[in-house]
Amino acid sequence: MANYKKVNITPDARTELHDALSLTGAEISINSLPAGAGVPFVHSHKNNEEIYAVLSGKGKAAIDGETVELAAGDWIRVDPAAKRQFSAAEDSAISFICIQVKKGSLEGYTKDDAVIEGG
């Protein structure tokens, strides 16, 4: 069995990569909202923090009653307990990646976790 898995994703409104990549420590989704559209619900999490990366377009996030403007290139981390809802701007679609990981689960960073081969 290979130590990697590659997939090609066709753009859709929402694509979850958990099953496609056999993820075991994170959930990653690719999301696209057309201009003027929004996620139809407010949500929070029990354990998972979320990291959002805006790939294109612009929009906003309502987080615990505060409006956060978003544009391509922005990254934002949201604590599990925060109540959140995302939407595209009235005049622009938005595409973003959402990465969910268990809060407090990172035990080391790349430099501490990497094993240099042949060195």
What's the rounded Cα separation, in Å, for the pair 92 and 112? 41
The single-letter code of the amino acid at 86 is: F
pLDDT in tens, 78-117: 999 999 999 999 999 999 999 999 999 988 877 778 888 8
**Looking at residue 41, what is its pLDDT?**
94
Number of folded domains that form the chain = 1
pTM of the model: 0.88
In a domain, 8, yes or no: no
**Looking at residue 61, what is its pLDDT?**
98
In a domain, 6, yes or no: no
In a domain, 111, yes or no: no
In a domain, 110, yes or no: no
Q: Is residue 1 over pLDDT 70?
A: no
Burial class (CB in 10 A: 0-12, 13-18, 19+), 108: exposed
In a domain, 58, yes or no: yes
- Residue 90's CATH number: 2.60.120.10
Pairing mode, strands 27-33 and 94-102: antiparallel
What is the token pair recorded at 22?
Answer: 């056999």
H/E element holding 67? strand 66-71
112: phi then psi, degrees, rounded to nearest 5: -90, -25
What is the span of the domain harbouring residue 97?
14-105
pLDDT band at residue 76, thresholds of 50, 70 and 90? very high
pLDDT band at residue 37, thresholds of 50, 70 and 90? very high
In a domain, 19, yes or no: yes
